[in-house]
Structure 1
Protein backbone atom coordinates (compact mmCIF):
# COMPACT_ATOMS: atom_id res chain seq x y z
CA UNK A 1 0.00 0.00 0.00
CA UNK A 2 1.23 3.47 -0.83
CA UNK A 3 2.76 5.02 2.26
CA UNK A 4 1.67 8.40 3.56
CA UNK A 5 5.11 9.94 3.11
CA UNK A 6 5.37 8.87 -0.51
CA UNK A 7 1.89 10.10 -1.29
CA UNK A 8 2.52 13.38 0.51
CA UNK A 9 5.69 13.97 -1.51
CA UNK A 10 3.86 13.46 -4.79
CA UNK A 11 1.04 15.73 -3.69
CA UNK A 12 3.46 18.45 -2.60
CA UNK A 13 5.26 18.30 -5.92
CA UNK A 14 2.03 18.63 -7.86
CA UNK A 15 0.92 21.53 -5.68
CA UNK A 16 4.13 23.39 -6.51
CA UNK A 17 3.63 22.65 -10.19
CA UNK A 18 0.09 24.02 -10.02
CA UNK A 19 1.32 27.16 -8.30
CA UNK A 20 3.85 27.65 -11.09
CA UNK A 21 1.10 27.72 -13.68
CA UNK A 22 0.55 24.06 -14.42
CA UNK A 23 -3.18 24.33 -13.79
CA UNK A 24 -3.81 23.82 -17.51
CA UNK A 25 -3.70 20.07 -17.13
CA UNK A 26 -4.56 17.58 -19.87
CA UNK A 27 -5.51 13.91 -19.80
CA UNK A 28 -1.82 13.03 -20.22
CA UNK A 29 -0.89 14.55 -16.88
CA UNK A 30 -0.68 12.75 -13.56
CA UNK A 31 -3.60 13.61 -11.25
CA UNK A 32 -3.45 13.28 -7.45
CA UNK A 33 -5.76 14.29 -4.61
CA UNK A 34 -5.30 13.21 -0.99
CA UNK A 35 -8.32 15.29 0.19
CA UNK A 36 -6.15 17.11 2.73
CA UNK A 37 -7.97 20.44 2.59
CA UNK A 38 -11.57 21.64 2.53
CA UNK A 39 -11.98 21.40 -1.22
CA UNK A 40 -10.76 19.31 -4.13
CA UNK A 41 -7.12 19.91 -5.05
CA UNK A 42 -6.46 21.59 -8.45
CA UNK A 43 -3.90 18.84 -9.12
CA UNK A 44 -6.60 16.16 -8.90
CA UNK A 45 -9.09 17.44 -11.47
CA UNK A 46 -12.12 16.28 -9.45
CA UNK A 47 -15.43 17.92 -8.57
CA UNK A 48 -18.78 17.10 -6.99
CA UNK A 49 -21.50 17.26 -9.59
CA UNK A 50 -24.76 18.96 -8.61
CA UNK A 51 -28.10 17.71 -9.91
CA UNK A 52 -31.32 16.20 -8.55
CA UNK A 53 -29.92 12.72 -7.88
CA UNK A 54 -26.75 14.16 -6.34
CA UNK A 55 -28.84 16.30 -4.00
CA UNK A 56 -29.48 13.08 -2.08
CA UNK A 57 -25.79 13.03 -1.22
CA UNK A 58 -23.32 14.96 0.85
CA UNK A 59 -19.55 15.40 0.63
CA UNK A 60 -17.42 16.01 3.70
CA UNK A 61 -13.69 16.71 3.86
CA UNK A 62 -12.82 15.19 7.25
CA UNK A 63 -9.77 14.03 9.23
CA UNK A 64 -11.15 11.40 11.62
CA UNK A 65 -11.06 8.41 9.24
CA UNK A 66 -8.11 8.43 6.82
CA UNK A 67 -6.12 5.99 4.75
CA UNK A 68 -2.98 8.14 4.63
CA UNK A 69 -2.09 11.73 5.33
CA UNK A 70 -4.39 13.97 7.35
CA UNK A 71 -7.65 13.90 5.42
CA UNK A 72 -10.16 11.82 3.46
CA UNK A 73 -13.60 12.23 1.90
CA UNK A 74 -16.79 11.01 3.50
CA UNK A 75 -19.48 10.59 0.85
CA UNK A 76 -23.00 9.63 1.89
CA UNK A 77 -26.53 9.33 0.53
CA UNK A 78 -29.85 9.59 2.33
CA UNK A 79 -33.40 8.59 1.30
CA UNK A 80 -34.51 10.92 -1.45
CA UNK A 81 -36.44 9.09 -4.16
CA UNK A 82 -40.24 9.18 -4.10
CA UNK A 83 -42.04 5.85 -4.40
CA UNK A 84 -43.70 7.13 -7.57
CA UNK A 85 -40.32 7.19 -9.37
CA UNK A 86 -38.92 3.63 -9.42
CA UNK A 87 -36.04 4.60 -11.73
CA UNK A 88 -34.81 7.34 -9.41
CA UNK A 89 -31.28 7.04 -8.01
CA UNK A 90 -29.48 8.46 -4.98
CA UNK A 91 -25.87 9.49 -5.57
CA UNK A 92 -22.93 11.22 -3.96
CA UNK A 93 -20.43 10.78 -6.79
CA UNK A 94 -17.21 12.66 -7.48
CA UNK A 95 -16.42 13.17 -11.17
CA UNK A 96 -13.38 13.92 -13.31
CA UNK A 97 -13.52 17.33 -14.97
CA UNK A 98 -14.58 17.08 -18.61
CA UNK A 99 -11.40 18.62 -20.06
CA UNK A 100 -9.29 15.97 -18.32
CA UNK A 101 -11.18 12.90 -19.48
CA UNK A 102 -9.16 10.15 -21.15
CA UNK A 103 -9.92 9.30 -24.82
CA UNK A 104 -12.02 6.18 -25.16
CA UNK A 105 -9.38 4.30 -27.13
CA UNK A 106 -6.62 5.15 -24.63
CA UNK A 107 -5.73 3.08 -21.55
CA UNK A 108 -5.14 4.78 -18.20
CA UNK A 109 -4.38 3.79 -14.61
CA UNK A 110 -6.70 4.82 -11.77
CA UNK A 111 -6.15 4.45 -8.04
CA UNK A 112 -8.27 5.12 -4.97
CA UNK A 113 -8.74 3.79 -1.45
CA UNK A 114 -12.21 3.11 -0.05
CA UNK A 115 -13.64 2.17 3.33
CA UNK A 116 -17.25 1.30 4.21
CA UNK A 117 -18.84 3.02 7.16
CA UNK A 118 -20.86 0.82 9.50
CA UNK A 119 -23.44 -0.52 9.04
CA UNK A 120 -22.36 -2.20 5.80
CA UNK A 121 -25.51 -2.84 3.68
CA UNK A 122 -26.67 -6.45 3.67
CA UNK A 123 -29.88 -6.16 1.65
CA UNK A 124 -30.61 -7.30 -1.89
CA UNK A 125 -30.25 -3.94 -3.59
CA UNK A 126 -28.22 -2.15 -6.27
CA UNK A 127 -25.14 -0.48 -4.77
CA UNK A 128 -22.12 0.88 -6.68
CA UNK A 129 -18.95 2.41 -5.24
CA UNK A 130 -17.11 3.30 -8.49
CA UNK A 131 -17.81 3.20 -12.21
CA UNK A 132 -16.23 3.91 -15.59
CA UNK A 133 -18.43 5.03 -18.48
CA UNK A 134 -18.32 6.41 -22.01
CA UNK A 135 -19.52 9.93 -22.67
CA UNK A 136 -23.04 10.10 -24.07
CA UNK A 137 -23.83 12.85 -26.56
CA UNK A 138 -27.12 14.71 -26.29
CA UNK A 139 -29.84 12.82 -28.12
CA UNK A 140 -28.12 9.43 -28.08
CA UNK A 141 -30.63 6.58 -28.13
CA UNK A 142 -30.06 3.82 -25.57
CA UNK A 143 -29.35 2.82 -22.00
CA UNK A 144 -25.59 2.53 -21.50
CA UNK A 145 -24.36 0.91 -18.31
CA UNK A 146 -20.81 1.51 -17.03
CA UNK A 147 -18.28 -0.55 -18.96
CA UNK A 148 -16.61 -1.26 -15.60
CA UNK A 149 -18.50 -1.17 -12.30
CA UNK A 150 -17.58 -1.95 -8.68
CA UNK A 151 -20.79 -3.35 -7.20
CA UNK A 152 -22.13 -4.46 -3.83
CA UNK A 153 -25.15 -6.62 -3.04
CA UNK A 154 -26.26 -8.65 0.00
CA UNK A 155 -22.99 -7.84 1.76
CA UNK A 156 -20.92 -9.18 -1.14
CA UNK A 157 -18.53 -7.28 -3.37
CA UNK A 158 -18.20 -8.00 -7.11
CA UNK A 159 -17.08 -6.34 -10.36
CA UNK A 160 -18.76 -6.34 -13.76
CA UNK A 161 -17.78 -5.41 -17.31
CA UNK A 162 -20.31 -4.30 -19.91
CA UNK A 163 -20.33 -4.32 -23.71
CA UNK A 164 -22.79 -4.44 -26.60
CA UNK A 165 -24.83 -7.62 -26.98
CA UNK A 166 -22.58 -10.50 -28.03
CA UNK A 167 -23.26 -14.16 -28.85
CA UNK A 168 -23.61 -16.34 -25.78
CA UNK A 169 -24.75 -19.80 -24.74
CA UNK A 170 -27.57 -19.55 -22.21
CA UNK A 171 -27.83 -22.12 -19.46
CA UNK A 172 -30.41 -22.78 -16.78
CA UNK A 173 -32.43 -19.70 -15.91
CA UNK A 174 -31.89 -18.51 -12.35
CA UNK A 175 -28.55 -20.31 -11.97
CA UNK A 176 -25.05 -18.92 -12.52
CA UNK A 177 -23.38 -20.54 -15.51
CA UNK A 178 -20.33 -22.78 -15.21
CA UNK A 179 -18.30 -21.81 -18.27
CA UNK A 180 -15.49 -23.61 -20.03
CA UNK A 181 -11.91 -22.46 -20.67
CA UNK A 182 -11.78 -19.12 -22.45
CA UNK A 183 -15.39 -18.33 -21.57
CA UNK A 184 -16.92 -15.96 -19.03
CA UNK A 185 -20.27 -15.99 -17.23
CA UNK A 186 -22.47 -13.20 -18.57
CA UNK A 187 -25.95 -11.76 -18.34
CA UNK A 188 -27.37 -11.32 -21.86
CA UNK A 189 -29.56 -8.21 -21.94
CA UNK A 190 -31.12 -7.92 -25.44
CA UNK A 191 -33.64 -5.31 -24.24
CA UNK A 192 -30.76 -2.83 -23.82
CA UNK A 193 -28.41 -4.34 -26.46
CA UNK A 194 -25.88 -5.07 -23.71
CA UNK A 195 -23.96 -7.97 -22.19
CA UNK A 196 -22.80 -7.79 -18.57
CA UNK A 197 -19.91 -10.03 -17.51
CA UNK A 198 -19.06 -11.14 -13.99
CA UNK A 199 -15.28 -10.71 -13.75
CA UNK A 200 -14.33 -10.71 -10.04
CA UNK A 201 -15.84 -11.19 -6.58
CA UNK A 202 -14.98 -11.67 -2.92
CA UNK A 203 -14.84 -14.92 -0.91
CA UNK A 204 -18.41 -14.52 0.32
CA UNK A 205 -19.77 -14.55 -3.24
CA UNK A 206 -20.82 -18.19 -3.52
CA UNK A 207 -22.30 -20.43 -6.24
CA UNK A 208 -25.78 -19.31 -5.21
CA UNK A 209 -24.97 -15.67 -5.99
CA UNK A 210 -25.01 -13.98 -9.39
CA UNK A 211 -27.86 -16.09 -10.78
CA UNK A 212 -28.50 -13.50 -13.50
CA UNK A 213 -25.15 -14.47 -15.11
CA UNK A 214 -26.62 -17.64 -16.62
CA UNK A 215 -24.89 -17.56 -20.01
CA UNK A 216 -21.32 -18.00 -21.29
CA UNK A 217 -19.40 -16.11 -23.98
CA UNK A 218 -15.90 -16.27 -25.42
CA UNK A 219 -16.00 -12.59 -26.44
CA UNK A 220 -14.83 -11.54 -22.97
CA UNK A 221 -11.98 -13.43 -21.30
CA UNK A 222 -11.08 -13.27 -17.61
CA UNK A 223 -7.66 -14.35 -16.35
CA UNK A 224 -7.86 -15.14 -12.64
CA UNK A 225 -4.64 -14.01 -10.94
CA UNK A 226 -5.29 -16.14 -7.85
CA UNK A 227 -6.65 -13.51 -5.46
CA UNK A 228 -10.31 -12.80 -4.62
CA UNK A 229 -11.50 -9.27 -4.00
CA UNK A 230 -11.05 -8.16 -0.38
CA UNK A 231 -14.08 -8.04 1.88
CA UNK A 232 -14.85 -4.29 2.22
CA UNK A 233 -16.14 -4.91 5.76
CA UNK A 234 -12.55 -5.59 6.90
CA UNK A 235 -11.33 -2.00 6.43
CA UNK A 236 -9.60 0.13 3.82
CA UNK A 237 -9.14 -1.34 0.34
CA UNK A 238 -6.66 0.38 -1.98
CA UNK A 239 -7.46 -0.23 -5.65
CA UNK A 240 -5.35 0.19 -8.75
CA UNK A 241 -7.16 -0.25 -12.06
CA UNK A 242 -6.06 -0.12 -15.69
CA UNK A 243 -9.04 0.69 -17.91
CA UNK A 244 -8.87 0.49 -21.71
CA UNK A 245 -12.20 0.00 -23.49
CA UNK A 246 -12.33 -1.85 -26.79
CA UNK A 247 -15.85 -2.61 -28.05
CA UNK A 248 -14.47 -4.41 -31.10
CA UNK A 249 -12.41 -6.82 -29.00
CA UNK A 250 -9.27 -4.85 -28.07
CA UNK A 251 -10.30 -3.95 -24.54
CA UNK A 252 -8.15 -4.65 -21.48
CA UNK A 253 -8.73 -4.18 -17.76
CA UNK A 254 -6.30 -4.91 -14.90
CA UNK A 255 -7.49 -4.88 -11.31
CA UNK A 256 -5.27 -4.78 -8.21
CA UNK A 257 -6.43 -4.51 -4.59
CA UNK A 258 -4.09 -3.92 -1.65
CA UNK A 259 -1.13 -4.58 -3.95
CA UNK A 260 -2.51 -7.98 -5.03
CA UNK A 261 -3.31 -8.72 -8.65
CA UNK A 262 -6.97 -9.80 -8.87
CA UNK A 263 -7.85 -10.30 -12.56
CA UNK A 264 -7.07 -9.40 -16.15
CA UNK A 265 -10.04 -8.90 -18.47
CA UNK A 266 -9.67 -8.84 -22.26
CA UNK A 267 -11.95 -8.71 -25.26
CA UNK A 268 -15.07 -6.73 -26.01
CA UNK A 269 -15.28 -4.05 -23.36
CA UNK A 270 -17.48 -0.97 -23.66
CA UNK A 271 -19.99 0.35 -26.19
CA UNK A 272 -19.74 1.65 -29.75
CA UNK A 273 -23.31 2.80 -30.42
CA UNK A 274 -24.16 5.86 -32.50
CA UNK A 275 -24.23 9.05 -30.49
CA UNK A 276 -21.61 8.14 -27.92
CA UNK A 277 -18.76 10.51 -27.11
CA UNK A 278 -15.02 10.37 -27.65
CA UNK A 279 -13.92 9.96 -24.02
CA UNK A 280 -14.24 7.65 -21.05
CA UNK A 281 -14.80 9.02 -17.57
CA UNK A 282 -14.46 7.76 -14.02
CA UNK A 283 -16.60 8.63 -11.02
CA UNK A 284 -16.63 7.29 -7.49
CA UNK A 285 -18.93 7.51 -4.52
CA UNK A 286 -22.05 5.79 -3.20
CA UNK A 287 -24.74 5.19 -5.80
CA UNK A 288 -27.91 3.20 -5.25
CA UNK A 289 -31.47 2.92 -6.37
CA UNK A 290 -33.69 4.70 -3.88
CA UNK A 291 -33.25 3.05 -0.48
CA UNK A 292 -33.74 3.42 3.26
CA UNK A 293 -31.24 4.82 5.73
CA UNK A 294 -27.95 6.63 5.26
CA UNK A 295 -25.19 4.84 3.33
CA UNK A 296 -21.68 6.28 3.69
CA UNK A 297 -18.23 5.53 2.28
CA UNK A 298 -14.78 7.04 2.87
CA UNK A 299 -12.37 7.70 -0.03
CA UNK A 300 -8.71 8.65 0.00
CA UNK A 301 -5.55 8.70 -2.14
CA UNK A 302 -7.01 9.33 -5.59
CA UNK A 303 -4.47 9.15 -8.41
CA UNK A 304 -4.67 8.78 -12.19
CA UNK A 305 -1.95 8.48 -14.80
CA UNK A 306 -1.06 6.93 -18.12
CA UNK A 307 1.92 5.35 -16.30
CA UNK A 308 1.37 2.43 -13.95
CA UNK A 309 4.20 3.42 -11.58
CA UNK A 310 2.32 6.61 -10.67
CA UNK A 311 -0.57 4.54 -9.31
CA UNK A 312 0.85 1.16 -8.28
CA UNK A 313 4.18 0.00 -6.88
CA UNK A 314 6.57 -0.16 -9.87
CA UNK A 315 7.80 -3.64 -8.96
CA UNK A 316 4.32 -5.13 -9.34
CA UNK A 317 3.21 -3.21 -12.44
CA UNK A 318 2.32 -5.68 -15.23
CA UNK A 319 3.55 -3.16 -17.83
CA UNK A 320 4.78 0.46 -17.83
Structure 2
Protein backbone atom coordinates (compact mmCIF):
# COMPACT_ATOMS: atom_id res chain seq x y z
CA UNK A 1 0.00 0.00 0.00
CA UNK A 2 1.46 3.34 -1.12
CA UNK A 3 0.43 6.30 1.09
CA UNK A 4 2.17 9.67 0.93
CA UNK A 5 2.32 12.25 3.69
CA UNK A 6 0.95 15.03 1.48
CA UNK A 7 -2.11 12.88 0.72
CA UNK A 8 -2.79 12.48 4.43
CA UNK A 9 -2.39 16.22 5.01
CA UNK A 10 -4.82 16.94 2.18
CA UNK A 11 -7.30 14.46 3.69
CA UNK A 12 -6.99 16.09 7.12
CA UNK A 13 -7.49 19.55 5.59
CA UNK A 14 -10.71 18.38 3.93
CA UNK A 15 -11.90 16.93 7.25
CA UNK A 16 -11.23 20.28 8.94
CA UNK A 17 -12.69 22.57 6.25
CA UNK A 18 -15.37 20.38 4.68
CA UNK A 19 -14.49 21.30 1.10
CA UNK A 20 -11.71 20.75 -1.42
CA UNK A 21 -11.52 24.52 -1.96
CA UNK A 22 -11.03 25.18 1.74
CA UNK A 23 -8.46 22.38 1.98
CA UNK A 24 -6.52 23.78 -0.98
CA UNK A 25 -6.08 27.10 0.82
CA UNK A 26 -5.07 25.24 3.98
CA UNK A 27 -2.32 23.10 2.43
CA UNK A 28 -1.24 25.74 -0.15
CA UNK A 29 -2.14 23.61 -3.17
CA UNK A 30 -4.56 24.09 -6.04
CA UNK A 31 -8.03 22.60 -5.94
CA UNK A 32 -7.27 20.04 -8.71
CA UNK A 33 -4.11 18.97 -6.86
CA UNK A 34 -6.07 18.32 -3.66
CA UNK A 35 -8.75 16.40 -5.59
CA UNK A 36 -6.07 14.21 -7.17
CA UNK A 37 -4.39 13.55 -3.81
CA UNK A 38 -7.71 12.51 -2.29
CA UNK A 39 -8.47 10.22 -5.26
CA UNK A 40 -5.04 8.57 -4.99
CA UNK A 41 -5.41 8.09 -1.25
CA UNK A 42 -8.85 6.46 -1.68
CA UNK A 43 -7.49 4.24 -4.46
CA UNK A 44 -4.60 3.14 -2.25
CA UNK A 45 -6.90 2.43 0.71
CA UNK A 46 -9.51 0.76 -1.50
CA UNK A 47 -12.42 2.44 0.30
CA UNK A 48 -14.28 5.75 0.06
CA UNK A 49 -13.43 8.52 2.54
CA UNK A 50 -16.19 11.01 1.65
CA UNK A 51 -19.59 11.31 0.04
CA UNK A 52 -20.65 14.52 -1.73
CA UNK A 53 -23.52 16.82 -0.73
CA UNK A 54 -23.36 19.77 -3.06
CA UNK A 55 -19.94 21.33 -2.62
CA UNK A 56 -19.41 19.77 0.79
CA UNK A 57 -17.68 16.47 1.42
CA UNK A 58 -19.24 14.36 4.19
CA UNK A 59 -16.94 11.80 5.86
CA UNK A 60 -17.98 8.18 5.55
CA UNK A 61 -17.82 5.86 8.57
CA UNK A 62 -14.56 4.47 7.17
CA UNK A 63 -13.31 8.00 6.69
CA UNK A 64 -13.99 8.88 10.33
CA UNK A 65 -12.25 5.74 11.56
CA UNK A 66 -9.24 6.40 9.32
CA UNK A 67 -9.04 10.01 10.49
CA UNK A 68 -9.06 8.90 14.13
CA UNK A 69 -5.96 6.80 13.46
CA UNK A 70 -3.94 9.19 11.30
CA UNK A 71 -4.58 12.43 13.25
CA UNK A 72 -2.23 11.50 16.15
CA UNK A 73 0.44 10.51 13.61
CA UNK A 74 0.18 13.85 11.79
CA UNK A 75 0.17 15.76 15.08
CA UNK A 76 3.38 14.02 16.12
CA UNK A 77 4.94 14.68 12.72
CA UNK A 78 3.95 18.35 12.81
CA UNK A 79 5.59 18.61 16.22
CA UNK A 80 8.97 17.30 15.03
CA UNK A 81 10.26 20.80 14.31
CA UNK A 82 9.51 21.89 17.86
CA UNK A 83 11.02 18.69 19.25
CA UNK A 84 14.22 19.30 17.31
CA UNK A 85 14.35 22.89 18.59
CA UNK A 86 13.82 21.69 22.17
CA UNK A 87 16.64 19.18 21.81
CA UNK A 88 18.94 21.77 20.26
CA UNK A 89 18.27 24.33 23.00
CA UNK A 90 18.07 21.67 25.75
CA UNK A 91 14.49 22.60 26.63
CA UNK A 92 12.01 20.11 28.06
CA UNK A 93 9.09 18.80 26.02
CA UNK A 94 5.69 20.40 26.61
CA UNK A 95 3.17 18.72 28.86
CA UNK A 96 0.40 17.63 26.50
CA UNK A 97 -3.00 17.86 28.18
CA UNK A 98 -6.37 17.06 26.66
CA UNK A 99 -9.79 17.76 28.12
CA UNK A 100 -13.44 17.46 27.26
CA UNK A 101 -14.94 20.79 26.15
CA UNK A 102 -16.79 21.61 29.41
CA UNK A 103 -13.58 21.05 31.39
CA UNK A 104 -11.62 23.27 28.99
CA UNK A 105 -13.87 26.22 29.86
CA UNK A 106 -12.57 27.19 33.31
CA UNK A 107 -11.12 24.21 35.18
CA UNK A 108 -8.13 23.46 32.98
CA UNK A 109 -7.21 27.16 32.45
CA UNK A 110 -7.23 27.67 36.24
CA UNK A 111 -4.99 24.65 36.80
CA UNK A 112 -2.58 25.76 34.05
CA UNK A 113 -2.44 29.25 35.59
CA UNK A 114 -1.43 27.76 38.95
CA UNK A 115 1.06 25.41 37.32
CA UNK A 116 2.63 28.26 35.36
CA UNK A 117 3.22 30.23 38.57
CA UNK A 118 5.13 27.29 40.09
CA UNK A 119 7.12 25.73 37.28
CA UNK A 120 8.78 26.47 33.97
CA UNK A 121 6.67 23.83 32.22
CA UNK A 122 5.46 24.36 28.67
CA UNK A 123 1.99 23.22 27.67
CA UNK A 124 0.13 21.91 24.66
CA UNK A 125 -3.64 21.80 25.19
CA UNK A 126 -5.95 19.67 23.06
CA UNK A 127 -9.66 18.88 22.97
CA UNK A 128 -10.86 15.39 23.85
CA UNK A 129 -13.93 14.45 21.80
CA UNK A 130 -15.88 11.62 23.41
CA UNK A 131 -18.07 10.62 20.46
CA UNK A 132 -15.29 10.22 17.90
CA UNK A 133 -13.27 7.87 20.11
CA UNK A 134 -9.93 9.54 19.37
CA UNK A 135 -8.39 8.47 22.64
CA UNK A 136 -7.47 4.88 21.93
CA UNK A 137 -3.69 4.43 22.29
CA UNK A 138 -2.99 8.18 22.12
CA UNK A 139 0.62 8.07 23.16
CA UNK A 140 1.12 11.76 22.35
CA UNK A 141 -1.17 12.82 25.25
CA UNK A 142 0.39 12.91 28.73
CA UNK A 143 -2.84 13.53 30.60
CA UNK A 144 -6.52 13.77 29.66
CA UNK A 145 -9.21 15.37 31.83
CA UNK A 146 -12.64 13.79 31.33
CA UNK A 147 -15.95 12.89 32.93
CA UNK A 148 -16.17 9.22 33.89
CA UNK A 149 -17.14 6.70 32.71
CA UNK A 150 -15.03 7.17 29.59
CA UNK A 151 -14.89 3.94 27.61
CA UNK A 152 -13.18 5.12 24.40
CA UNK A 153 -9.67 4.74 25.76
CA UNK A 154 -7.09 2.15 26.75
CA UNK A 155 -5.43 4.65 29.08
CA UNK A 156 -5.57 4.20 32.86
CA UNK A 157 -8.68 5.83 34.36
CA UNK A 158 -8.30 7.60 37.72
CA UNK A 159 -11.25 9.24 39.50
CA UNK A 160 -10.18 12.26 41.54
CA UNK A 161 -13.34 14.26 42.30
CA UNK A 162 -17.11 13.93 42.43
CA UNK A 163 -19.47 16.82 41.73
CA UNK A 164 -23.14 17.55 42.40
CA UNK A 165 -25.01 18.94 39.43
CA UNK A 166 -26.70 22.27 40.22
CA UNK A 167 -29.57 24.42 39.08
CA UNK A 168 -28.31 27.41 37.08
CA UNK A 169 -30.69 30.38 37.13
CA UNK A 170 -30.66 33.97 35.87
CA UNK A 171 -30.13 36.69 38.46
CA UNK A 172 -33.49 37.84 39.82
CA UNK A 173 -35.31 34.65 38.88
CA UNK A 174 -37.97 33.67 41.50
CA UNK A 175 -36.37 30.24 42.01
CA UNK A 176 -33.08 31.95 42.93
CA UNK A 177 -34.69 32.97 46.24
CA UNK A 178 -34.70 29.33 47.34
CA UNK A 179 -31.75 27.45 48.84
CA UNK A 180 -32.82 24.18 47.19
CA UNK A 181 -34.58 23.85 43.82
CA UNK A 182 -36.73 20.90 42.70
CA UNK A 183 -36.34 19.42 39.24
CA UNK A 184 -40.09 19.69 38.68
CA UNK A 185 -39.86 23.45 39.30
CA UNK A 186 -37.16 23.72 36.65
CA UNK A 187 -39.29 21.70 34.23
CA UNK A 188 -42.06 24.29 34.55
CA UNK A 189 -39.68 27.04 33.34
CA UNK A 190 -38.19 27.71 29.88
CA UNK A 191 -35.55 24.97 30.03
CA UNK A 192 -32.16 24.90 28.31
CA UNK A 193 -31.13 21.27 28.01
CA UNK A 194 -27.96 19.44 27.11
CA UNK A 195 -28.12 17.38 23.95
CA UNK A 196 -28.89 13.66 24.08
CA UNK A 197 -25.29 12.95 22.99
CA UNK A 198 -23.93 14.35 26.26
CA UNK A 199 -23.09 12.20 29.26
CA UNK A 200 -25.50 14.01 31.62
CA UNK A 201 -28.70 14.29 29.57
CA UNK A 202 -30.05 10.79 30.25
CA UNK A 203 -29.25 11.10 33.97
CA UNK A 204 -31.14 14.40 34.21
CA UNK A 205 -34.16 13.12 32.23
CA UNK A 206 -34.39 9.92 34.27
CA UNK A 207 -34.29 11.84 37.58
CA UNK A 208 -37.12 14.10 36.45
CA UNK A 209 -39.21 11.14 35.25
CA UNK A 210 -38.85 9.58 38.70
CA UNK A 211 -40.11 12.86 40.14
CA UNK A 212 -43.17 12.67 37.93
CA UNK A 213 -42.22 15.29 35.37
CA UNK A 214 -40.66 15.71 31.94
CA UNK A 215 -38.48 18.40 30.42
CA UNK A 216 -39.71 20.18 27.31
CA UNK A 217 -36.61 22.19 26.39
CA UNK A 218 -36.89 25.07 23.98
CA UNK A 219 -33.11 25.14 23.48
CA UNK A 220 -30.73 22.18 23.39
CA UNK A 221 -26.94 22.42 23.25
CA UNK A 222 -23.99 20.07 23.43
CA UNK A 223 -22.03 22.57 25.52
CA UNK A 224 -22.62 23.20 29.23
CA UNK A 225 -20.82 26.53 28.88
CA UNK A 226 -23.19 27.58 26.10
CA UNK A 227 -26.17 26.59 28.27
CA UNK A 228 -24.89 28.77 31.14
CA UNK A 229 -24.22 31.66 28.78
CA UNK A 230 -27.85 31.47 27.62
CA UNK A 231 -29.02 31.35 31.25
CA UNK A 232 -26.94 34.46 31.99
CA UNK A 233 -28.83 36.23 29.21
CA UNK A 234 -32.13 35.42 30.91
CA UNK A 235 -33.32 32.98 28.25
CA UNK A 236 -34.13 30.15 30.65
CA UNK A 237 -32.88 27.82 33.37
CA UNK A 238 -30.70 24.73 33.23
CA UNK A 239 -28.99 21.91 35.13
CA UNK A 240 -25.24 22.30 35.03
CA UNK A 241 -21.85 21.08 36.08
CA UNK A 242 -21.04 23.22 39.17
CA UNK A 243 -17.62 24.40 38.02
CA UNK A 244 -18.99 25.63 34.70
CA UNK A 245 -22.00 27.25 36.40
CA UNK A 246 -19.85 28.97 39.05
CA UNK A 247 -17.62 30.41 36.33
CA UNK A 248 -20.64 32.38 35.03
CA UNK A 249 -21.48 33.94 38.40
CA UNK A 250 -20.13 37.36 37.39
CA UNK A 251 -22.18 37.22 34.20
CA UNK A 252 -25.46 36.78 36.05
CA UNK A 253 -25.87 33.05 36.77
CA UNK A 254 -27.12 32.04 40.23
CA UNK A 255 -26.22 28.51 41.38
CA UNK A 256 -28.56 26.56 43.66
CA UNK A 257 -28.48 23.01 45.04
CA UNK A 258 -30.94 20.50 43.57
CA UNK A 259 -33.34 18.54 45.77
CA UNK A 260 -32.39 15.40 43.84
CA UNK A 261 -28.67 14.69 43.93
CA UNK A 262 -27.18 14.07 40.49
CA UNK A 263 -23.51 13.16 40.43
CA UNK A 264 -20.67 13.66 37.96
CA UNK A 265 -17.22 12.10 38.38
CA UNK A 266 -14.13 13.95 37.17
CA UNK A 267 -11.37 11.64 36.03
CA UNK A 268 -7.90 11.53 34.53
CA UNK A 269 -6.71 9.37 31.67
CA UNK A 270 -3.04 8.47 32.07
CA UNK A 271 -0.83 6.31 29.86
CA UNK A 272 -0.01 3.28 32.00
CA UNK A 273 3.03 2.51 29.84
CA UNK A 274 4.71 5.86 30.43
CA UNK A 275 6.57 6.93 33.56
CA UNK A 276 5.02 10.00 35.17
CA UNK A 277 7.22 13.10 35.12
CA UNK A 278 7.47 15.57 38.02
CA UNK A 279 5.60 18.08 35.85
CA UNK A 280 2.74 15.63 35.29
CA UNK A 281 2.45 14.94 39.02
CA UNK A 282 2.46 18.68 39.75
CA UNK A 283 -0.25 19.19 37.13
CA UNK A 284 -2.45 16.64 38.90
CA UNK A 285 -2.00 18.61 42.14
CA UNK A 286 -2.97 21.83 40.36
CA UNK A 287 -6.09 20.19 38.90
CA UNK A 288 -7.19 18.97 42.33
CA UNK A 289 -6.66 22.46 43.78
CA UNK A 290 -8.61 24.04 40.93
CA UNK A 291 -11.54 21.66 41.44
CA UNK A 292 -11.63 22.50 45.15
CA UNK A 293 -11.53 26.26 44.49
CA UNK A 294 -13.98 26.42 41.58
CA UNK A 295 -16.39 23.67 42.62
CA UNK A 296 -16.82 25.07 46.14
CA UNK A 297 -19.24 23.08 48.31
CA UNK A 298 -20.55 21.10 45.35
CA UNK A 299 -17.49 18.87 44.92
CA UNK A 300 -15.83 16.14 46.96
CA UNK A 301 -12.15 15.89 46.09
CA UNK A 302 -9.75 13.00 46.40
CA UNK A 303 -6.71 14.05 48.48
CA UNK A 304 -3.45 14.73 46.68
CA UNK A 305 -1.63 11.99 48.51
CA UNK A 306 -4.08 9.22 47.65
CA UNK A 307 -4.04 10.06 43.93
CA UNK A 308 -0.34 10.78 43.61
CA UNK A 309 0.70 7.70 45.60
CA UNK A 310 -0.77 5.47 42.90
CA UNK A 311 1.97 3.50 41.09
CA UNK A 312 1.18 5.23 37.81
CA UNK A 313 2.23 8.61 39.25
CA UNK A 314 5.37 7.42 41.05
CA UNK A 315 6.29 8.07 44.66
CA UNK A 316 5.59 11.36 46.38
CA UNK A 317 5.16 12.43 50.02
CA UNK A 318 1.37 12.76 50.47
CA UNK A 319 -0.07 16.07 51.68
CA UNK A 320 -2.80 15.83 54.32
CA UNK A 321 -6.48 15.99 53.41
CA UNK A 322 -9.76 14.81 54.89
CA UNK A 323 -11.81 14.15 51.77
CA UNK A 324 -11.50 10.51 50.79
CA UNK A 325 -13.50 8.41 48.36
CA UNK A 326 -12.62 6.01 45.55
CA UNK A 327 -9.34 6.51 43.64
CA UNK A 328 -9.56 4.09 40.76
CA UNK A 329 -12.60 3.60 38.54
CA UNK A 330 -12.28 0.27 36.82
Scaled by the length of structure 1, the TM-score of the pair is 0.24
- Greater helix share, structure number: 2
Higher strand share: 1
Higher relative contact order (CA 8 A, sep 6+): 1
The structure whose Rg is larger is 2
The TM-score, its normalising length taken from structure 2, stands at 0.24
